[in-house]
Structure 1
Amino acid sequence: MGTQVLSWDGEAADRAVAVLKAVADPSRYRLLWALSRQELPVSALAEMLGAHVAATSQHLAKLRAAGLVESRREGTRIYYRAAQQVRGLLEEATLVANAAAEAKGGSVEGAPRSAVAQEQPAAAARRVRVRRPVTEH
C-alpha cells in the first residue's frame, strides 16, 4: 500500500489541528471513547467523568465544534454519539502512542494493539471522584 503525497492545503491542516486539539484533553478523549461505543445523555457522561454536567457540556461543545460528536434531542434530553470516523481516530492514536513508547524503550507489553479493542480505556476503568475544596464562610 503506497502513501499518496498531497499538496499542502492550509485549510485542511487547520481543520486537522482543530480535531487534534479537541481530542488532546483527557476528559474529551474519555468522552469520545464512551460515545464510540454507545449513545449517552450528558448526565451519564458527567457521572462517568466524575464532573459537573456544565463542565461535561462544555467538553461536548468543543467536540461538536470539531465535528467529532453528533447529538439528537428526545423530549428534554439530548443524546450524544461519536461521529462515524472517531473510532478510527482513537485506534490510530493508540497505535501511534504505543509505537512512540516502544521507540523510547518503554514497555507496552500486554497492551492491546488497539485500545478500542478493550472494553474501556484504562483511565476510564478507574473512577476518580474530584473533591471540592471546603470553603469557610
Structure 2
Amino acid sequence: MGTQVMSWDAAAADRAVAVLKAVADPSRYRLLWALSTQELPVSALAELLDAHVAATSQHLAKLRAAGLVESRREGTRIYYRAGARVRGLLEEASLVANTPAQQDAGESEAPAEPVAVAKEERVRAPRTVRARRPVVEH
C-alpha cells in the first residue's frame, strides 16, 4: 500500500535508547516530571524523592548526560530544568502505558488523560539473608 518505511539510522537509534534508559528509572522519571514544569535546586529535588542529595545528584548527572536536563549555577546552588519536549515524552509514555492492548490493535477511543506522578512511599526490597554453616568441631 502507501506505507513508507524509514531507513534505519543506527546512531539515532542509539541516542533514542540512551534517552529511554535514562527515563526508565522511577526516580529519574519523577525528577523529569517535576523539572518539566519548574526549575528546582538539588535540595528540593532530593526532598521530593525522599533521597539523599548525593543520590539525587547522581540521577541528575545521568539525565544531563542523556541531554534531558540543563543546569545553571547561582552562587553555591545548582538549579535544574527540563524542556517542553521532555514533558511531551513523559506524557506520551504515560498514554502508551495506560492504553489497553485492544486500542493499539485498531479500536479507536478517546485518548486517556496522562496520569500524574504522585510521591510514592519508598519501599525497600527485603534483604537476602545467608544461612550460616554450623560449626563442626572435629
Partner Cα separation in structure 2 for residue 130 and residue 53 of structure 1: 19
Secondary structure in structure 1 of the residue aligned to 2:98: helix
Q: Which amino acid aligns with 1:13?
A: A
Partner of 1:21: 21
By relative contact order (CA 8 Å, sep 6+), the higher-ranking structure is 1
Q: CA deviation at 1:83?
A: 2.6
- The correspondence of residues 1-40 of structure 1 with structure 2, limited to 5 A, is 5-40=5-40
Q: Which amino acid aligns with 1:103?
A: A
Instruction: Indicate whether 1:103 and 2:101 are aligned.
Output: yes
Distance 1:83 1:54, change over 3 A: same
Q: Which amino acid aligns with 1:14?
A: D
Partner of 1:93: 93
Distance 1:45 1:97, change over 3 A: same
Q: Which amino acid aligns with 1:35?
A: L
Distance 1:70 1:30, change over 3 A: same
Instruction: Indicate whether 1:55 and 2:61 are aligned.
Output: no
Partner Cα separation in structure 2 for residue 19 and residue 6 of structure 1: 20
- Paired residues, what number? 116
In structure 2, runs of 5+ residues without a counterpart are 103-111, 125-138
Q: Which amino acid aligns with 1:121?
A: V
Secondary structure in structure 2 of the residue aligned to 1:68: coil
Partner of 2:108: none
The CA deviation string for residues 2-21 of structure 1, in whole angstroms up to 9 with x for no partner, is 98642100000000000000
Distance 1:36 1:6, change over 3 A: same
Partner of 1:70: 70
The CA deviation string for residues 70-125 of structure 1, in whole angstroms up to 9 with x for no partner, is 011111100000133101101110111011xx228xxxxxxx5223xxxx413x2x
Moved over 4 A (4+): none
Q: Which amino acid aligns with 1:77?
A: R
Q: Which amino acid aligns with 2:12?
A: A
RMSD of aligned alpha carbons: 2.4
Q: Which amino acid aligns with 1:58?
A: Q
TM-score (norm 2): 0.75
Secondary structure in structure 2 of the residue aligned to 1:85: helix
